[in-house]
């Protein structure tokens, strides 16, 4: 055996050459090279640990660490030269280049007791830990922008909807906070599962553990992990951290999609409640008058992409036997794409909510008196009439206004209302006030001003 096959980390067992298609099918450097910094960081820590275990001398350790730093600089400056016939993945590429820089005799000692099985799992956890910190920062910024807008525009009233039908008047800020608390729950879940990502598999070897009395706790501390995975078989096989990230992202993007759908509807000419900034809109190639909410439509579409990645990966891992299997190479592309999609989506959403304009006059014009039918029923409840009876009476008022072709139940007048039910008194006319209706919803979580301000305060405290 000679040539590239001899240089492969696993080449000693094999005498034939690899089918070129199989070589392409097997490689992962084209996408896992994004973990170059984490791979080098893990290798530098491993050099310190193997020195501590007596495998490397202090001089060899320092030579390896300095050589790896040069490899990292090549990646960072985009001068690293890939050798496709040899560099299957980021681990192989970095070790091959390290040998070229410091000599293969010393470089060859770095992999002692280590497998690509525990190495890749470590790299992915380190990479994901960094990315989740970025996602958390972006999510906090989005929430702060949402809460700030809710506070600034607390007085705007709009229709609240069920079944996409006008239901009851609410505050625009109440709508904003309904989504804010969904995303706050996403933030809470993110912070919770980050702890499970931040556990070290390094030192597990291929599957059975390390035979050189390597101090795994020392390694974990060097890399900023909270602790070690206590079982070596699990350490190399566990991809729950990938699955959990994809599941979290699916739920979070589902919330992004529903938030986007509302704003898409509210931005149509038929509603006219909001206008998106030009920076987050596009036009039509045919119709000059069009201003499309493409940012929101893309956000809505990207949620399906993330869900597909999660479903696909679960299918990959559901039937795998224990320990490491090559199928697990399929963990990276969905994870990488998902993380990129989520990071970009949150930043786009932040831009949208920070720059859109609302039109309070159009929101208010969309309020109709039939939306106060429940308030009319509640009026009689306060006079001691059972709600099931008042619901029927209020419905009769709505029907009477429709039969007469009136614009709303407020147009019936006191005399007609008293003909429908004699318990209506002169003060019933006070019911037909949208601001009053909103302010009556004073219980916790309601849409009155004090309640929404309390929601804003609670969210602000959670974001500190």
**3-state secondary structure (DSSP) of residue 276:** coil
Does residue 10 contact residue 115 with C-beta atoms inside 8 Å? no
Annotated catalytic residue: which of 77, 163, 285, 443?
163
* d(C-alpha 310, C-alpha 248), whole Å: 9
Q: Which residue has the tokens 């809460």?
A: 147
Q: Which of 43, 35, 106, 104 is nearest to 69 (CA)?
A: 43
Backbone phi and psi for residue 51, each to the nearest 5 degrees, phi listed first? -65, -45
Measured CA to CA in angstroms, residue 43 lies from 39, 118, 239 at distances of 6, 11, 21
Is 284 marked active-site? yes
235 in Cβ contact with 328 (< 8 Å): no
For residues 146 and 41, give the distance between their C-alpha atoms in angstroms, rounded to a whole number.
Answer: 37
CA atoms within 13 A on the CB side of 156: 22
Q: Is 163 a catalytic residue?
A: yes
Residues in the chain: 464
Give Cα 59 to chain centroid, integer Å: 45
Say which of 30, 59, 284, 322 is annotated catalytic: 284
Cβ–Cβ < 8 Å for 235, 121 = yes
CA neighbor of 235 nearest in space, from 332, 114, 132, 88: 114
DSSP assigned state of 40: H
Tokens of 272: 């006219």
Q: What is the 8-class DSSP label of residue 427?
A: G
Eight-class DSSP state of 195: H
Nearest-CA neighbor of 373 among 427, 431, 447? Answer: 431
CA 338 – CA 132 distance, rounded (Å): 11
CA angle 138, 140, 142 (to 5 degrees): 70
d(CA 431, CA 414): 12
Catalytic residues: 163, 284
């Amino acid at each position: 055996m000679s040539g590239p096959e001899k240089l492969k980390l696993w080449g000693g067992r094999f005498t034939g050459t690899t089918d070129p298609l199989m070589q392409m099918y097997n490689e992962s450097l084209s996408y896992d090279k994004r973990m170059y910094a984490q791979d080098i960081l893990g290798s530098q820590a491993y050099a310190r640990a193997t020195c501590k275990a007596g495998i490397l001398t202090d001089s060899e350790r320092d030579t390896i660490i300095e050589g790896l730093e040069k490899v990292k600089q090549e990646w960072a400056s985009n001068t690293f030269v890939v050798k496709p016939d040899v560099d299957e993945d980021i681990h192989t590429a970095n070790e091959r280049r390290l040998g070229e820089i410091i000599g293969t005799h010393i470089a060859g000692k770095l992999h002692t007791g280590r497998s690509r099985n525990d190495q890749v799992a470590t790299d992915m956890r380190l990479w994901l830990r960094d990315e989740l910190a970025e996602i958390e920062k972006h999510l906090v910024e989005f929430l702060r922008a949402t809460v700030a807008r809710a506070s600034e525009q607390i007085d705007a009233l709009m229709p609240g909807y069920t079944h996409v039908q006008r239901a009851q008047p609410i505050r625009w800020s109440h709508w904003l906070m309904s989504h804010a608390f969904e995303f706050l729950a996403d933030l809470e879940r993110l912070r919770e599962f980050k702890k499970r990502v931040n556990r070290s598999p390094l030192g597990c070897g291929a599957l059975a553990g390390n035979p050189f009395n390597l101090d795994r706790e020392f390694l974990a501390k060097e890399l900023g992990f909270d602790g070690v995975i206590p079982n070596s078989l699990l350490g190399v096989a566990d991809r729950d951290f990938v699955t959990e990230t994809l599941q979290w992202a699916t739920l979070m993007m589902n919330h992004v999609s529903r938030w986007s759908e509302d704003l898409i509807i509210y931005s149509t000419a038929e509603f006219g409640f909001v206008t998106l900034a030009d920076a987050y809109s596009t036009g039509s190639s045919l119709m000059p008058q069009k201003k499309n909410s493409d940012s929101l439509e893309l956000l809505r579409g990207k949620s399906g992409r993330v869900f597909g990645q999660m479903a696909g990966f679960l299918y990959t891992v559901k039937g795998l036997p224990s320990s490491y299997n090559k199928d697990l190479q399929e963990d990276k592309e969905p994870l990488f794409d998902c993380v990129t999609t989520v990071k970009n989506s949150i930043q786009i959403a932040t831009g949208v909510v920070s720059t859109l304009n609302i039109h309070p006059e159009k929101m208010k014009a969309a309020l109709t008196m039939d939306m106060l039918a429940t308030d009319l029923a509640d009026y009689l409840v306060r006079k001691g009439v059972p709600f099931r009876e008042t619901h029927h009476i209020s419905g009769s008022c709505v029907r009477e206004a429709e039969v007469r072709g009136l614009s709303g139940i407020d147009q019936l007048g006191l005399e007609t209302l008293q003909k429908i039910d004699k318990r209506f008194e002169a003060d019933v006319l006070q019911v037909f006030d949208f601001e009053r209706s909103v302010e009556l919803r004073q219980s916790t979580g309601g849409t009155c001003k004090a309640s929404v301000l309390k929601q804003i305060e609670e969210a602000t405290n959670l974001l500190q």
